[in-house]
Amino acid sequence: MGSRRIRLSSRALGDLRRCIVHVYDTADEMCAAGKRFNHNDLTGSAGITQSYHNANDRTAVPIVRLYRGRLGIRVISHEMHHAATAIYGSTVPDDALASDVLTHYDEPFAYLFSDLLAHLVVSLYRFGYYK
């Protein structure tokens, strides 16, 4: 029982941005850690994304929680999308419209997502979660 911490980072938006991933042995451990973080009941979750916020109440560092039994591409890409969206959203001005910034032309957001996902997959292989 326990977890492994994996640190991810990207410079896709200019400044270095970080994301922390915890991989737990069981769903119960993952959900318990998530509940300790924000006191929400997360029972039944396949993955969890939470975040530390800065003084402006914007995401500073996303925290992604996964567990061994659900490390397929659907779950990890889903949680990495939450993390990338939280990081990207923290850089968008308060008065920006989503339709102005979230388009298929948005290369920085696309690179941020692919950086985080690729770094996570490489780490999961390196630590023996994938063969």
Distances (CA, A) of 113 to 31, 44, 60, 62, 85: 24, 25, 16, 13, 8
Residue 72 is assigned to a structural domain of this protein: yes
Residue 63 is assigned to a structural domain of this protein: yes
Residue 116 is assigned to a structural domain of this protein: yes
Question: What are the structure tokens assigned to 100, written together?
Answer: 């102005």
Residue 7 is assigned to a structural domain of this protein: yes
Residue 51 is assigned to a structural domain of this protein: yes
Q: How many domains does the chain have?
A: 1
With cut-offs at 50, 70 and 90, classify the pLDDT of residue 127: very high
Residue 22 is assigned to a structural domain of this protein: yes
Q: Which domain holds residue 87?
A: 3-126
Structural contact between residues 102 and 109, judged by C-beta atoms closer than 8 angstroms: yes
Q: Residue 22's Cα: distance from chain center in Å?
A: 10
**Digit-coded pLDDT (tens) for 21-76:** 999 999 999 999 999 999 999 999 999 999 999 999 999 999 999 999 999 999 99
Residue 69 is assigned to a structural domain of this protein: yes
Residue 131 is assigned to a structural domain of this protein: no
Structural contact between residues 53 and 86, judged by C-beta atoms closer than 8 angstroms: no
Question: What are the structure tokens assigned to 63, written together?
Answer: 């925290």
**Predicted TM-score of the model (pTM):** 0.93
